Chains A and B, each alone.
Chain A
Amino acid sequence: MRLTRGGFTDSSRALTLLADADLVALLGPLEESSPLRESLLDGLSRTASPDDALLALTRLAATVTATGPALAQTVRTGLANEGLLRTRLLAVLGASSALADHLARHPGDLAALEEPTAVGADSRAVRAELLAAVGADPQASPVATVTGSQGVDALRRAYRRRLLRIAAADLTSEEPLSLLPAVAAALADLAAAALEGALALARSELPDHGEGVRLAVIGMGKCGGRELNYVSDVDVIFVAEPAEGVDESTALTAGARLATVLSRVCSAASTEPALWPVDAALRPEGKNGPLVRTVASHVAYYERWAKTWEFQALLKARTVAGDLEVGREYCDALSPMVWTAVERENFVEDSQAMRRRVEDHVPAAEADRQLKLGVGGLRDVEFTVQLLQLVHGRADESIRSPNTLSAIAALSAGGYVGREHAARMAVCYRLLRALEHRIQLHRMRRTHLMPTADADLRRLARSVGMRSGGAEELGERWRSVRREVRHLHEELFYRPLLPATAQLSREEASLAPEAARARLAAIGYRDPSGAVRHIAALTEGVSRRAAIQRQLLPVLLGWFAEGSDPDAGLLAFRRLSDELGTTHWYLKLLRDSGSAAHHLACVLSTSKYAADALARSPESVAWLADDAELAPRDRARLAAEADAVLTRQDDATGAATLLRALRRREMARTAVAEVLGRRSVTSAAHALTAAAEIVLVGALRIAEYEARHGPEGLLTRTSIIAMGRLGGRELGYGSDADVLFVHDPLPGQDEARAQAQAVGIAARVRALLGAVGPEPTLEVDADLRPEGRNGPLARTLASYREYYQRWSSPWESQALLRARPVAGDEELGQRFVDLVAPRRYPVGGADPGTVREVRRLKARMESERLPRGVDPTRHLKLGRGGVSDVEWTVQLLQLRHGHEIPALRTPSTLEALEAAEDAGLVEPSDAETLREAWVLASRLRDAVVLWTGRTGGAAADVLPHDRRALSGLARLLGHPPGRGAALEEDYLRTARRARAVVDHVFYD
């Protein structure tokens, strides 16, 4: 019982161990309830793992006894009395098996535990201590006198002896979180001293002791920030300058030699275990660059080549060893660059990309155990802090500290972040770091993963003071910290952008206008002043809306910034809020559904078309909360809805308006789904086609209804044949509906009167859908009919037959490839299809005359139809390698081979292309090239509409030049930010290749 209460998990083993011969030999018999035994058990019960501590103690006992009576006496007395030695020794043994091993190897180091605490020691003293271990004079440029592997081992032992003291102080602290900054600083100083010692050893290996070179070791990352872990790569950069009278290349060679040996001293295998890897990969050109450079060479690199993240890394640079003068020159030369990095081109994109890298580069299996990477991890905290430093550090020197916790404090003191949020962030950071320290201490391994074994979790929990709750409490605490870190990022970064009047509590910061604009600009707002005004408008007042928006806005501001046009997103949100802000469900939706709010922010800041559509029918905002609402409505459901609309209405114009509203709604649904990446280009085209078909069916029904109830009654049956993109189910947002009207007089009716009525019906359909009204029009275009605009709007089946037999030209055959009945009498539609079959799929294939004519027509079209002044390489429809190039190529194949290959008989471009490929008419690689070009051009045409919000006009089919527009299009196509130029290259290349294929497939 006593043992279980004391924290042992295996009490029978504990009993055996207490009777262990070695232990007894050292301490004397430990009888039940003897004072010594009680005192020992009491000490053990305070350790992270009493079981481990006791086991380690028995192992240690043997070596202590063997070492000599003096040491044995010390330990015996130390353990018998409550004092530094007992508490510290047991704490170390219970938390770190690696340090226990070290003590077993070097029992002499036990004495170090009684020395005063190493935390908070003067860094110069630490440096002198480690240099003394290798017999070097701590004056400038120390050279080791204990050299070779002996020197290496001596250095490592001295390092570990001090590490032992740091760990002991850390593990026995009542408030480990408070002590954390001091521990991390002590570890960094110790690492710096070790680097100095290693450099002294390296100098001893050079014949001239490296006198020709002045080498500085610059600490980066945690080492530079003076916030090191127990075990991690120590990031450094080596800077060398020649000593007086030495030429540069000799000095650099010597410097590189020193750097190489230094790394080896720290990390190569020897009798004593290695310290840590010295990582110089942050240097210019990374692993490919020279190990050592001069200050000037560094400067040249950063001026010319360095990327944004490299400046962020430089924020932590601090001279840690070697020539301090050179180190100062280096820091003086580079630090101004760090603080102007925010002015660099692409800073916004780069920093967003860096943030994504922080989140993405975690193996899925580890994601839930990572303390460092991943959402809510240490890196997340550091990133937030560093970004804020880069943004505001340009104007304010007080926040430039390389140390994370100092930086948080400075940011808070400077009013850049809310005080309470900053304090909470600091606590989260300390807890994560403390956990990391404890995990690493156990085996002195470089790891950032939470353990999984029960015993490990228990030890970890006890080591940070969670004695009673154990593993469960720990897991809960950790998860809540991660959640909080993520939340705090938003609060720290965006909350202070809200005006002072919109603060939720007095603890919050509100940025001065200048700083607010700098921060908004740094995350991608192009008009920060405008954004400040919108934010003020959205948060002012005492309404429920303002209250909810004050809560939400910080998060939304971040989401808008992820979109391609944050300013437009914010503006659209403000408009929506004016429109809907008092509606109950809207506020509830935003408040309660995180994903709906996120989707809304994404749509508003990515697509003007979708934003307008949402503003037009605000109720559609509700879709955002429900994925099912974003799925395309199937045709039957739409037909039923249209049917209900028509049955209810007796006013023709009113009914048509409702139909058009229905189509608008479906277009909006498609747009929103496409923006959110829920639709492929073909499924979007199908949805848009279905919406157009439904309104055609409805309009025809209205027109026929009117005729039936007119003076003459209904005289004829009508069918609408879809042509062009409508026929191919390839409609875009701005496409017209190309159609033919065919009719067949009812038995016994007068042909001439029936014809007149059919023309009237067709005209009525066009008017119902094309007249100006509150809902968007659908332009019904019948220009592909026989005789074009000079011919009658509708013809009888017999008239079509006669015309096609007598007059038809090659282009008509080609146009008919896309014919597909979509509305009206089905049987009539089928008869029309049968009628045109021999025209579009002529027996034996299109004759050479037709083929020649089609090619000529195309060649002429290329030069004539392209709008004036448009660069042919950029016209998505008619340009080089554009949609029309691919379609004509496919259609010519259909004309020539449709009669023999049934699969070619389809109005769809992609299906026909696939059939042609299957039939061996096109090489697979050529088919792939054509398909890619067609799909990309089609997606771009959609994206242009979604981005600009305009469905027509001269620019609608042209790839824009404007970088921002290109970048917006790229986002809509699912590329990461900042890929506009790449998208442009991509399209131009794809189209160029497609054109090469068209040249030989179509023209040869």
Chain B
Amino acid sequence: MDRQQEFVLRTVEERDIRFIRLWFTDVLGILKSVAVAPAELESAFAEGIGFDGSAIEGLTRVYEADMLAKPDPSTFQVLPWRGERHGTARMFCDIQTPDGEPSLADSRYVLKRALSRASDKGFTFYTHPEVEFYLFENPADPDKPLVPVDTAGYFDHVSRGTAHDFRRAAITMLESMGISVEFSHHEAGPGQNEIDLRYADALTTADNIMTFRTVVKEVALEQGVYASFMPKPMADHPGSGMHTHLSLFEGDRNAFHEPGAPMSLSVTGRRFIAGLLHHAAEITAITNQYVNSYKRLWGGAEAPSYISWGHNNRSALVRVPMYKPGKGNSSRVEYRAVDSATNPYLAFAVMLAAGLKGIEEGYELPDGAEDDVWELTDAERRALGIESLPSSLDQAIAIMEKSELVAETLGEHVFDFVLRNKRQEWDGYRAQVTPYELKRYLSVL
């Protein structure tokens, strides 16, 4: 029993916690939870808690159903919305096979493995996500038009607005769970909000995003509204992305930073970007995993449909934010394709792998885009060598299927599962006759 485990046991006792939820994430990024009583905690640390994995998406097959969830004591947190007395706490878990080996189907393990490859090369990976989501009036019924909670726009201050209160409550709750919030504001769409999590190492951030989604849903429930991370809930309004700032550290030094270089961006940084661009199309089925994701990616406005990069270019896929002098450790690049519905573990793993590949292979960074890429004509883009991201889930799967990089990063098991699952989703979608089609064709055909 190590110190952290002891700490958890002690806290559980001192704060009279009645249930501990063991959290883990399935391959699609949906949070799963098993509750255990404090009495079981010690054996959970020692041996893990057995559960039937066959019911969990992508985790396992029917005939090898037994899995173990082994809690990571460093992720112990009391859940604030469950009240102070007789509270409930949670820990994230690693999934293991009955032999105690990490399950190859555990997306948290996929990220851990990617991080340990980076650490073999001397890098630690930090991320900082800007999570967008919509607030709708309850009930949010798929059969009726959605009603956003307000009609404000980007950075608008809404007096006594629901969103304002909402953000305040959510942030208070996040902070009480040890998740620091960098920034929050009203986004461009009506009822759309953004909350930025403070940068942290990628595994912690991914755990935080899973917590964040839960917290936002819980607060919404308390306040009688409905929160959604769907990538593009309304055709006429911007989608919800999760722009993610990425940086690599070598020890305590930011590896992207080099004073005096253009944009203070080191060679490592340039190659990392080159890697992201080179493999962008391959990883899109992971960063944008749903049919609906592509409605956002190709919905115009600021969505990054084209594979390009730029300095403060809000239409580029990869953006190098303005460097603040004297803040060498804040050098970073922003990857803008990811949406709020991604599985953060897998998304971080593939982004990291793409960037590292660029560093390993010494990819050359193409020239940055200075114009708004959306404004260019197809011919201009062709002339500039700017390619586009996949335009549909179908295309994204076909490209990913050929990617050695993604296969290697996810591991063969997860890779195969994602491909099969996403093909099924596409087939299901393709079989639909949509209201749009009826409206458009029924009267004339």
Contacts and interface: CB of A to CB of B under 8 A. Distances in A.
Interface string B62-90: 11100000000010000000000000000
Given A288-B250, A290-B251, A303-B2, A873 B104 contact: no
Interface string B385-413: 00000000000000000100001100111
B161 interface: no
A544 interface: no
A336 interface: yes
Interface residues of B, number: 26
A753 to B, nearest CB: 55
A305 B4 contact: no
A637 B61 CA distance: 50
A285 B122 CA distance: 7
Interface centre among B97, B100, B252 (most CB of A within 10 A): B252
B214 interface: no
B412 A984 contact: yes
A964 B98 CA distance: 11
A258 B166 CA distance: 50
Nearest to A292: B252
A337 interface: yes
Interface string B1-37: 0111000000000000000000000000000000000
A962 B251 CA distance: 38
A144 B402 CA distance: 65
Contacts of B411: 985
B64 A961 contact: yes
B119 A305 contact: yes
B416 to A, nearest CB: 6
B99 interface: yes
B119 A285 contact: yes
Contact of A873 (B3, B116, B251, B416): B416
B108 to A, nearest CB: 13
A874 B4 CA distance: 40
Contacts of A633: none
Contact of B101 (A252, A288, A963, A989): A963
A103 interface: no
A911 to B, nearest CB: 29
B412 A981 contact: no
Interface in A294-350: 299, 303-305, 333, 336-337, 340, 345
A289 interface: yes
A645 to B, nearest CB: 46
Contacts of A379: none
A989 B407 contact: yes
Interface residues of A, number: 28
A142 B47 CA distance: 50
Nearest to B72: A304
A290 B402 CA distance: 39
Contact of A303 (B64, B74, B122, B408): B74
A423 B101 CA distance: 40
B46 to A, nearest CB: 9
B119 A992 contact: no
Interface residues of A: mostly helix, strand, loop or mixed?
helix
Nearest to B402: A996
B206 to A, nearest CB: 15
Interface in A963-994: 963-964, 981, 984-985, 988-989, 992
Nearest to A987: B412
A871 interface: yes
Nearest to B251: A290
A290 B412 CA distance: 35
Interface string A104-139: 000000000000000000000000000000000000
Interface centre among B64, B74, B99, B411 (most CB of A within 10 A): B99
B389 to A, nearest CB: 23
Interface string B105-121: 00000000000100100
Contacts of A288: 122, 250-251
Contacts of A305: 116, 119
Given A288-B250, A290-B251, A303-B2, A873 B412 contact: yes
Interface in A46-101: none
Contacts of B104: 981, 984-985
A992 B412 contact: yes
B99 A963 contact: yes
Contacts of B407: 989, 992
Contacts of B4: 303
A963 B67 CA distance: 13
Nearest to A963: B99
Nearest to A249: B252
Contacts of B408: 989
A345 B63 contact: no
A629 to B, nearest CB: 37
A963 B63 contact: no
B101 A345 contact: yes
A988 B252 contact: no
A920 interface: no
Contacts of A953: none
A245 interface: no
A907 B62 CA distance: 40
Contacts of A988: 412-413, 416
Given A288-B251, A303-B4, A305-B119, A964 B63 contact: no
B95 to A, nearest CB: 14
B2 A340 contact: yes
A345 B103 CA distance: 13
Contacts of B413: 988
Contacts of B2: 303, 336-337, 340
A363 interface: no
A748 interface: no
A304 B62 CA distance: 32
Given A285-B122, A985-B411, A964 B251 contact: no
Pairs A-B, 6 closest by C-beta atoms: A288-B122, A988-B412, A963-B99, A290-B251, A961-B64, A963-B101
15 contacts: A285-B119, A288-B250, A288-B251, A290-B252, A303-B4, A336-B3, A345-B100, A963-B99, A984-B104, A985-B104, A988-B413, A989-B408, A992-B407, A992-B416, A996-B402
Given A305-B119, A988-B413, 9 more contacts: A252-B252, A303-B2, A303-B4, A333-B3, A345-B100, A985-B104, A988-B416, A989-B412, A992-B407
